[in-house]
Amino acid sequence: MKFIIQLASAFAAVASLANAVPVVERDAEITDPQVLNYALTLEHLEAAFYKEGLAKFSAADLKAAGYPDWTYGRLGQIYDHEAAHVKFLTTALQAAGAQAVEACMYKFPISDIKSFVSLAGILESVGSTAYTGGAAFITNKDYLTAAASILTVEGRHAAWINSAVLHGAAWDTAFQTPLGLNPVYTLAAQFITSCPQANAAALPLLTAYPALAIEGKPGSTGKLTFSAQNDGPLFVAFVSGVGAPVFQPIQKGNKVAIPSDLRGYVFAFVTSSNATVDDSTTVAGPAILDVVFDSRGHVA
């Protein structure tokens, strides 16, 4: 059985960087340029990731590691797409007279080829959830159409990496999970060491939640690790697709029963509520659970 736990525990060496990105106070209303800059921030990160990985490893390296000989070329095409997204969003913002955020400094935990390819699958899947959730904040229909165009390509990237390269499923459930701005920012911030100071003023107010780690698999009792404190009862919300989250109470010793029917990428949050997952109830997370399943729907 293959069960990749979650982003924070696998990459603990960079989890402490989540507070490195500046956050400034501003009105709660989110504008279209802020949403586009939020998307541009993620595209900068993805482009930098592929640029670094493709420079570190060659086509021969990937083939020697057991990947098909066309893998390097396809990853190069994905890099070209991410760079095109950066250029497109930057040009659109500048044409509208808005400031476009610049690239940050990053630290990616890609010590070997396997970690590079696995993280590529995670980043593309998170990118898809980011565009799905961010669409709700866009009012301009032209911007919304452009975002939808990028979203479908990000989804194809994720499907190809997770199936053709990693030999898993190309999808999770029947619906793409729509993550909000802060949960995605929490995941992305783990790889950011610093950003140009001017970027913060062009972005919506963003907050990185405390990191969460889960050790366990579906149908078992998992072990939670998080540093946030809360006086009341706590729960883990398992979020997948567009259905209602599944809430499980946290037991003594920071243990939780992991539902047995989870499939694909699932996002777990520690919450103070067993009914709602939002900024007011989130205590820690999200953690990413990648539950690999076969063509019969059985966990691999």
Q: In three state form, how does the secondary structure of 266-287 look? A: EEEEEECCCCCCCCCCEEEEEE
Note the Cα 128 to chain centre separation in Å: 8
* 182 part of a folded domain: yes
Same domain, 44 and 134: yes
Same domain, 143 and 248: no
Nearest to 131 by CA among 178, 195, 182: 178
* 67 part of a folded domain: yes
* 183 part of a folded domain: yes
Same domain, 57 and 77: yes
Query: What residues contact residue 69 under an 8 Å CB cut-off, 6+ apart?
Result: 59, 62, 63
Q: How confident is the model at residue 28 (pLDDT cuts 50, 70, 90)?
A: low
Same domain, 177 and 278: no
Same domain, 121 and 193: yes
- Tens of pLDDT along 239-274? 999 989 999 999 999 999 999 999 999 999 999 999
CATH number at residue 14: 1.20.1260.10
> Could you tell me the pTM of the whole model?
0.88
Same domain, 136 and 243: no
* 85 part of a folded domain: yes
User: How far is the CA of 238 from the CAs of 42, 258, 289, in angstroms?
Assistant: 24, 9, 9
Same domain, 165 and 259: no
* 2 part of a folded domain: no
User: How far is the CA of 75 from the CAs of 58, 70, 86, 118, 121, in angstroms?
Assistant: 11, 9, 17, 12, 11
Q: Which domain-ending residue is among 202, 225, 250?
A: 202
pLDDT at 115 over 60: yes
Same domain, 111 and 256: no
Question: Strand, coil or helix: what is 292?
Answer: coil
Query: In the numeric block, which tokens belong to residue 107?
Result: 């630290």
Q: CB atoms < 10 A from the CB of 274, how many?
A: 15
* 297 part of a folded domain: no
Same domain, 177 and 51: yes
Same domain, 81 and 152: yes
Q: How confident is the model at residue 176 (pLDDT cuts 50, 70, 90)?
A: very high
% pLDDT > 70, the chain:
91
Question: Taking CA 85 as the corner, what is the angle to CA 79 and CA 90, rounded to the nearest 5 degrees?
Answer: 130
Strand partners, 212: 226
Comparing 77-86, 117-126, 137-146, 286-295, the range with the smallest average pLDDT is: 286-295
pLDDT of residue 228: 78
Q: Do the bridges between strand 192-194 and strand 255-257 make them parallel or antiparallel, or are there none, so unpaired?
A: unpaired
| Contact criterion met (CB below 8 Å) for 24 and 201 | yes
pLDDT of residue 5: 38
Alpha-carbon dihedral sign for residues 267, 274, 215, 15 = positive
Q: Which domain-ending residue is among 202, 236, 268?
A: 202
Query: What residues contact residue 298 under an 8 Å CB cut-off, 6+ apart?
Result: none
Q: How confident is the model at residue 295 (pLDDT cuts 50, 70, 90)?
A: confident
pLDDT at 59 over 50: yes
Same domain, 89 and 194: yes
Domain count for the chain: 2
The residue segments making up the domain with residue 148 are 9-202
* 255 part of a folded domain: yes
Q: Which domain-ending residue is among 202, 232, 255?
A: 202
* 54 part of a folded domain: yes
Same domain, 108 and 160: yes
- 158-166: long-range contacts at Cβ-Cβ below 8 A with a sequence spacing of 24 or more? 158/121, 158/124, 158/125, 158/127, 158/128, 160/74, 161/117, 161/120, 161/121, 161/124, 162/121, 162/125, 164/68, 165/67, 165/68, 165/71, 165/117, 165/121, 166/117, 166/118, 166/121
